[in-house]
Amino acid sequence: MRKPSRMPIGLRLANTAKTVGRAFDDTLAAAGGSSPVWLVLLTLKTQAMASQREIAAAVGIQGATLTHHLNGMERDGLITRTRDPENRRVHQVRLTGQGEEMFHRLATAAQAHDERLREGFTEDELETLEKLLTRLQANVTAPREGA
């Protein structure tokens, strides 16, 4: 006879994500950034030639929401937006020097956060955790019969 999990796994996940996410937000804020700004910068550096549609998809937000963040980032001198001469509908988003600096500052902060997070975990445990999280996400992403 085994004692079942006493708490819904979704609630456990939400609690953990809330606590960890707030700690991360604090870390980013101390470095002068925020979570969406960091995700946008990371996407720009990782997927160099991304259109705004692609960036929004990568960050997991709507296009209009991305525009909102890009407006702020442009105002703060982190990015520039210019039209693509090949297809003038597309706006090319590029990092400025300040944007590069911000990226590196936030990358450092993010790395410190992640090292703190990993403390006491073995590589195997991290891999296990990552796989379990992926499966959890898949369960919710998979199309349902009813939908």
Partner DNA sequence: TATTGTTATACTCTATAACTATA
Partner DNA sequence: TATAGTTATAGAGTATAACAATA
* Phi-psi map region of 4: left, alpha, beta (phi>0 left; psi -120 to 50 alpha): beta
Which of 45, 52, 105, 113 forms a contact with DNA (CB under 7 A)? 52
State which of positions 58-87 bind its own copies (CB under 8 A). Answer: 60
Q: Which stretch binds its own copies (CB under 8 A): 66-74, 79-87, 91-99, 116-124?
A: 116-124
Residue 64 contact among DNA, its own copies, none, beta carbon within 5 to 8 Å by kind: DNA
How far, in Å, CA of 131 to CA of 43, rounded?
23
How far, in Å, CA of 70 to CA of 80, rounded?
9
Residue 53 contact among DNA, its own copies, none, beta carbon within 5 to 8 Å by kind: DNA
How far, in Å, CA of 17 to CA of 24, rounded?
10
Q: Does 18 bind its own copies (CB under 8 A)?
A: yes
∠59-91-93 over CA atoms, to 5°?
55
Residues that bind its own copies (CB under 8 A): 2, 4-5, 7-10, 12-21, 23-24, 35, 60, 110-111, 113-114, 116-121, 123, 125-130, 132-137, 139-141, 144
